[in-house]
Structure 1
């Protein structure tokens, strides 16, 4: 009886895929920021987010728990980036006036470089901050920023360069408004007034005028 030779070919080696949970979460979050900022909460689709992230819907729900929780996490991510960077500024070594202007310059640059933040805030305002209200993280992160501004105002008042009675939250809201409004409403304002509010020169002029407005508001009135 003839014995067949044993086969020498080996089975193909299966490729082992290494999972990287942190990278997968980061990809999903990045894709979610893009999707939600483009379409808002109602228009965004989790399937599209998973596709953008080169992941699958099961992983999205596994890491974030669903659309609502993912949207809250997106809001936290974009706002905490702003807060974290604000808190890196060293206000203690600055003169009060320089510190306030430095804070405004940072806010203005941050909003200018991140259209996704502007769009997400617009969508969330239309929804009456329904999802933002679920995040204690964002509320807690806001307090140190107001503390820095309040300290600058106090030092400026004691030095006789700031008028008394300026509220930190009112001032911060005014600075955000100066940085945010002309960009968030640029499409309509540019059309109405026939001027491109997003062009570099217009924004530079607006920035310089914002400095003048802040200085005029902060300065202690001179007595005759």
Structure 2
């Protein structure tokens, strides 16, 4: 065998080994999809729907645009999946809360503390909600999953309100949705508008000590709102 034949055989063997190695690399669709979704959350929360680019999302995910469209169908559908992902995590965590062994007041405060902690730890959720509000919830309207997840949370709060009312801790007639919106407002507003409010009032509203004091005040406001109304007796 000539040296040329030997070189040719070595090259063919190397090519065969390389081809075999490529063949045995397993594909992981779930992992690829999860990477794209994670990258999309970062991109959309940073730039909003209009500013985000699918090419950039694919690059962040170390994937390609073909895979993005394969798993999600396009930018609109991907954005709906992003909203479903961040809000479903909130709903799933809320539903893990167990109030059965707690007094109604402790249950309400625990619900608020959870909401407060969740929004505080997830700036991407705050930004995505802000962008979607500017778009009049155009994409949220397309998701049945998000609507279905809301009712159990209101049921949890409603049960706490009924228990508290039955033993005289809470005033009657408190609507669970109004109360939930109030709790989210107290947890969300100071963070979502923290940069501008901090500048206007020359106080760092995003500092840990300010947020801790705000949580304490929110507790007092909730308990004051829920307390039964004491009717004054008629004067003699």
TM-score, normalization by structure 2? 0.91
1:65-214 pair list within 5 angstroms: 65-214=73-222
Larger Rg: 2
> Alignment partner of 1:205: what SS?
helix
> Alignment partner of 2:137: what SS?
coil
Deviations 1:157-199 (A, max 9, x none): 0011000000000000000000000000011111111111000
Q: Would you tell me which structure has more helix in proportion to its own residues?
A: 2
> Alignment partner of 1:11: what SS?
helix
The match for 1:47 among 55, 69, 74 is: 55
C-alpha distance in 1 between matches for 2:231 and 2:74: 61
**CA RMSD after TM alignment:** 1.2
Segments of structure 1 that go 5 or more residues without pairing to the other structure are none
TM-score, normalization by structure 1? 0.96
> Alignment partner of 1:180: what SS?
helix
Deviation of 1:4 (Å): 4.2
Q: After the TM superposition, which parts of structure 1 deviate over 3 Å for at least 4 consecutive aligned residues?
A: 3-6
2:56 is the counterpart of 1:56: no
Q: How many residues align?
A: 222
Segments of structure 2 that go 5 or more residues without pairing to the other structure are none
C-alpha distance in 1 between matches for 2:44 and 2:50: 9
Deviation of 1:221 (Å): 2.3
C-alpha distance in 1 between matches for 2:182 and 2:167: 23
2:223 is the counterpart of 1:215: yes
